[in-house]
């Protein structure tokens, strides 16, 4: 499908998507820290590993989605961000990682803005 959006609109989409990646990357750092830091309560656990995977996937998807032209694949990635974000939020909740939950929540808030901008 040809990209017919005006450049300014694309730039806004990409900016919001990049902003979405910021809390996801911060969340990734938090998850890695919790995985490796002795005494975090979840160090070395499968749950913390899952949080790392979830945040890494969110960050990668956020960076990717802003660079995609409208179409089925971008819709798919956008929906996957929502699903992945919700699952990572649940994961962080059961891991009792408040800052990680906040990072995911911010990512999802920016996802919502991305949806509004991309309409």
Partner 1 sequence: MIRILPALILLAPAAHAQQTEWTGFHGDGMAQKYSASTQITPENVSDLEMAWEIHTGDVSDGSGDIPGTVWSATPILANDMLYVGTPFYRILAVHPDTGEIAWTYEPDDTTLEPLSQPELKNRGVTYWEGDGEGPCARRVYIGTMDAELHAVDADTGALCADFGEGGILDVNQWNKPDANFPLSQLQPPTVFRDKLLLGWAGKDWHDAENPLGSVFAIDARTGELDWTFHAIPEDYDGVTGTANVWTAMSVDEENGLAYLPVSSPSADFYGGTRTDPIPLATSVTAVNGDTGEVVWSRQLVDHDIWDYDTVAAPTLVDIPGDGGTTPALVQPTKMGYAFVLNRLTGEPIFPIEDTPVPASDIPTEASAATQPIPTLPKSPIGDDWGGVFGLADIASFGYCSRKFEELRYEGRYTPPSLEGSLAYPATAGGFQWGGGAVDPENGILYINSSRVAQIYQLIERAEYDTMTTGGSEAEGGLFPMTGTPYGFSLTNFLNPIGMPCWKPPYGLMSAIDLKSGETLWERPFGQTQQWGFYMPESWGSPTIGGPVVTASGLIFIGASMDARVRALDAATGDVLWKAQVDAPAVSIPAVYDFKGQQYVVFAVGGNSIIKPQVADQLIAFTLPQ
Interacting residue ranges for partner 1, rule: CB under 8 A: 38-42, 45-48, 91, 94-96
Quick one: 79 or 96, whose CB is closer to partner 1?
Answer: 96
Helix 72-94 and helix 98-118, axial crossing angle in degrees, nearest 10: 160
Smallest gap from residue 100 Cβ to partner 1 (A): 12
Burial grade of 80 (CB within 10 A; 0-12, 13-18, 19 or more): middle
Least CB distance to partner 1 at residue 49 (A): 8
Distance CA 10, CA 3 (A): 9
When the beta carbons of 33 and 40 are compared against partner 1, the nearer one is 40
Distance in Å, CB of 23 to partner 1, minimum: 22
Nearer to partner 1, 40 or 78 (CB): 40
- Residues 12 and 66: their CA atoms lie apart, in Å, by 9
């Amino acid at each position: 499908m040809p990209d017919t959006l005006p450049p300014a609109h694309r730039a806004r989409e990409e900016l919001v998507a990049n902003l979405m990646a910021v809390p996801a990357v911060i969340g990734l750092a938090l998850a890695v820290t919790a995985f490796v830091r002795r005494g975090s309560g979840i160090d070395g656990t499968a749950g913390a590993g899952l949080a790392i995977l979830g945040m890494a996937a969110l960050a990668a998807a956020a960076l990717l989605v802003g660079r995609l032209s409208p179409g089925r694949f971008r819709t798919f990635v956008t929906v996957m961000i929502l699903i992945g974000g919700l699952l990572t939020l649940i994961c962080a909740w059961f891991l009792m990682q408040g800052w990680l939950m906040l990072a995911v929540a911010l990512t999802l808030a920016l996802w919502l803005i991305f949806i509004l901008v991309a309409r």
